[in-house]
Amino acid sequence: MSKPLTNRLILLGWDAADWKIISPLVDAGLMPATSALIDRGSVGGIATLQPPLSPILWTSIVTGKRPFKHGIRGFVEPTADGRGIRPASSTSRTCKAIWNMCHQAGMNASAIGFFASHPAEPLSGVCVSNQFAVAPPADSADWPMPPDAVHPPRLRDPIRQLRIHPSEITITDLLPFIPRLEEIDRSRDPRPDRLAASIAKASSVQAVLTATLENEPWEFVAAYFDTIDVCSHHFMPYHPPKMLNVSDADFELYKDVIVGIYRFHDMMLARVLELAGPDTAIVLLSDHGFHSDHLRPIIAPENHDDPAAEAALDAAWHRPLGVICMAGPNLRKDERIYGATLLDVTPTILTILGLPVGKDMDGKVLAQAFDVPAQIERIESWDEREGDAGRHPPDTHQAGFDIAQSIAQLVELGYIEPLSDDAQKNFDRAVKESNYNLAASYLDAGRPADALKLLEPLYASEPEAPRFAVAVAHCEHLLGRSELATSILEKLLQSTPNAPDADLLLAAARFNTGRTDAGIEMLQQAAARRPRDFRPHLMLGGALLHLRRWNEAEESFRRVLEIDNHHHEALDGLAQSLLAQKRSEEAADAALSAVGILHHFPLAHMHLGIALTQMKEFERAIGPLELAVTMNPALLDAHRYLATIFRQLGRADRAAEHRIAAERLMAPAAAPPS
């Protein structure tokens, strides 16, 4: 075992937390605990995965693996007997979570409130499942706790007493979030009660977390809070600035909720930091962000009764970048974390704790946040390691609990569609959704052939369903069968002209099959129809770059940046179009902005180096060009420019090094043996 950077670590999950909200509040002094954590740690954005469903994402976070390895495929899953569905469960996770690994390494490990964690696992520390705080809609007089929601059994009654029912959240408790609460008729407006339910659940998780830190032995503790995500779905439309589709009355009533929820989390964090002490590492993160500005989506009135449209809208609220902050012994202070994904969290925590990383994990160690050289030990797989890992036996079945109540809550929160009275139909739908989500994960991992195997039966069963048709066409396009993709999409658009993303994919397919004019025309039409959607403008800019239509490409990328001025791909595209027009200083500014947003962006570093070379700033150009080839050794142009620069500077050995690298990249691949 390698030397740990620290002996204790707390992982805090704030679902949907976003720097766009946090940073202004920190700057205004309204989140002092978060500010203190940032000041003594490393921070950055963290890229989400597809599909962006919380049980899938958080299981990937705590395993370091994608869904096709960890087994959790959505909010619900079909039961083994084929008769119905149940919430995703710990017994369906097919690999060890970080708390199992810590348990197996002899640490006191605890996990509190995570999705897909019921029944609670027999950990060395405390395990409290996501079902322990599911409250009935009535008052708290009769509120039994689900069986097997708590481990060890000796803590069942004490933890039951820590739960807070929504009815216990008083008017005084809600006033900081809704100052004009007394003006609301709560018999007609359910929004205050929804807020109360979220606050009660977060308070219940916080109570268990702090009790564990105060009263139990621990080395690793993980706790999950869904409150920011739930409240953002309910209340982000009322967050300033006022959206056009929000009434003045609603805006005035609910405009303070989101800021209040973030400050509430900061207050909870303050107590955790107090109990943790300075010698504990803290990893705080979210699974994705949440739009809070002009990028917030608006649902068309005709789609309010369409469950598929509602689900697409829920996903449209999510930003692909969440937050990550790491602080503690031997972790860098005031440092930026670049290029992080959700899959990197478990490998990084294992390394911090001096434990080996599984070679079968899909992420990397974020060693850039370490203040000392990282000692990264590796094993083939934690799942092959023998011994007690605090897991359920393989034949364990989920204990009985009020499944109907749990699923009703998922429906109420908008996570799943309302159930049918036909149990078989619910079962079939769960299987279908599981396979669709798994296919999306394969696509996200760059494995379209595996995705297609799952999607073809879905498409055959519902050829009129836009999402199945688009997904199949996407796979065919990625597999080089763009003509087939074109046929599928043209047929779909005849029956469903507004099928989401079908026009963009069809434009790409037409472009790939040589029908460039048709592809450009379709992208231009899409950009005109959807002026607030950056994607058609971004694709159009890329297509125009390919056609060497530099001025038009520049215009398209600038349109993207009007919509989202932090879009790193648009900034790099703008740099490329400006380089081609010999506007070197502007190109350098655009490329520098791109790498400032996403540091691990080799193309943008290369374009920055090229711009500096055009400006005859040879010494300054070397740094970004060398960084580009370090990140991606296959960048031919970066090697060429470096060879030219070193030759100009009289450094023949370095010039030869990059000339040889460029020649190797240009050499045809060796012919296969006959």
Instruction: Please write the tens of the pLDDT for every residue from 274-298.
Output: 999 999 999 999 999 999 998 998 7
Q: Give the Cα separation of 88 and 67 in Å (integer).
A: 13
pLDDT band at 424 (very low <50, low <70, confident <90, very high): confident
- pLDDT by residue (tens digit) across 122-147? 999 999 999 998 877 666 557 888 88
- pLDDT by residue (tens digit) across 243-260? 999 999 999 999 999 999
Q: How many CA atoms lie within 13 A of 547 on its CB side?
A: 19
Q: Is residue 562 within a helix (H) or strand (E), and if so which, with residue range?
A: helix 550-563
Q: What is the mean pLDDT of the chain?
A: 91
**E strand segments, 135-276:** 150-151, 220-225
Q: Give the Cα separation of 373 and 612 in Å (integer).
A: 32
Q: Give the Cα separation of 46 and 41 in Å (integer).
A: 15
- pLDDT by residue (tens digit) across 467-516? 999 999 999 999 999 999 999 999 999 999 989 899 999 999 999 999 99
Prior bond of 51 cis (ω within 30°): yes
Contact 57, 94 (CB under 8 A): no
- pLDDT by residue (tens digit) across 349-395? 999 999 999 999 999 999 999 999 888 999 999 999 999 999 998 77
pLDDT band at 670 (very low <50, low <70, confident <90, very high): very low
Q: Give the Cα separation of 344 and 333 in Å (integer).
A: 20
One-letter amino acid at 488 equals: I
pLDDT band at 400 (very low <50, low <70, confident <90, very high): very low
Q: Give the Cα separation of 410 and 366 in Å (integer).
A: 34
Burial of 395 (0-12, 13-18, 19+ CB in 10 A): exposed
Q: Give the Cα separation of 601 and 607 in Å (integer).
A: 10
Measured CA to CA in angstroms, residue 145 lies from 10, 47, 105, 204, 215 at distances of: 26, 36, 31, 13, 21
Q: What is the pLDDT of residue 421?
A: 66
- pLDDT by residue (tens digit) across 446-455? 999 999 999 9
Q: What is the pLDDT of residue 420?
A: 67
Quick one: average pLDDT of 28-56? 96
Which tokens in the block code for residue 292?
């809070």
- pLDDT by residue (tens digit) across 633-665? 999 999 999 999 999 999 999 999 999 999 999
Q: Is the pLDDT of residue 306 over 90?
A: no
Cα angle 392-395-398, degrees, rounded to a multiple of 5: 65
Determine what percent of the chain is predicted with pLDDT higher than 70.
Answer: 92
Residue 609 neighbours by CB under 8 Å, 6+ apart: 621, 622, 623, 624, 625, 628, 638, 641
For residue 86, give the 3-state DSSP assignment.
strand
Taking alpha carbons only, the member of 167, 314, 175, 202 closest to residue 257 is 175
Q: Give the Cα separation of 555 and 537 in Å (integer).
A: 9
Give the β-pairing of 220-225 and 109-112.
Answer: parallel
Strand partners, 290: 318
Q: Is the pLDDT of residue 48 over 90?
A: yes
Quick one: average pLDDT of 214-223? 98
Q: What is the pLDDT of residue 500?
A: 87
For residue 670, give the 3-state DSSP assignment.
coil
pLDDT band at 315 (very low <50, low <70, confident <90, very high): confident
Q: What is the pLDDT of residue 110?
A: 98
DSSP class of residue 383 equals G
Measured CA to CA in angstroms, residue 405 lies from 87, 112, 219, 401, 638 at distances of: 10, 20, 34, 9, 59
Domains of the chain, each with CATH number or no CATH: 9-412 (3.40.720.10), 566-665 (1.25.40.10)
pLDDT band at 525 (very low <50, low <70, confident <90, very high): very high
Q: Give the Cα separation of 459 and 469 in Å (integer).
A: 6
**Range with the lowest mean pLDDT among 25-29, 448-452, 529-533?**
529-533
Q: Give the Cα separation of 612 and 667 in Å (integer).
A: 28
Q: What is the pLDDT of residue 401?
A: 44
For residue 557, give the 3-state DSSP assignment.
helix
Q: Give the Cα separation of 619 and 606 in Å (integer).
A: 14
For residue 67, give the 3-state DSSP assignment.
helix
Say which residue, 335 or 191, is predicted with more confidence: 191
Q: What is the pLDDT of residue 298?
A: 78
Q: Give the Cα separation of 666 and 669 in Å (integer).
A: 9
Taking alpha carbons only, the member of 541, 530, 543 closest to residue 569 is 541
Q: Is the pLDDT of residue 84 over 80?
A: no
Q: What is the pLDDT of residue 394?
A: 77
Is the Cα dihedral 63, 65, 69, 71 positive or negative?
A: positive
Q: Is the pLDDT of residue 19 over 90?
A: yes
Taking alpha carbons only, the member of 42, 16, 115 closest to residue 371 is 42
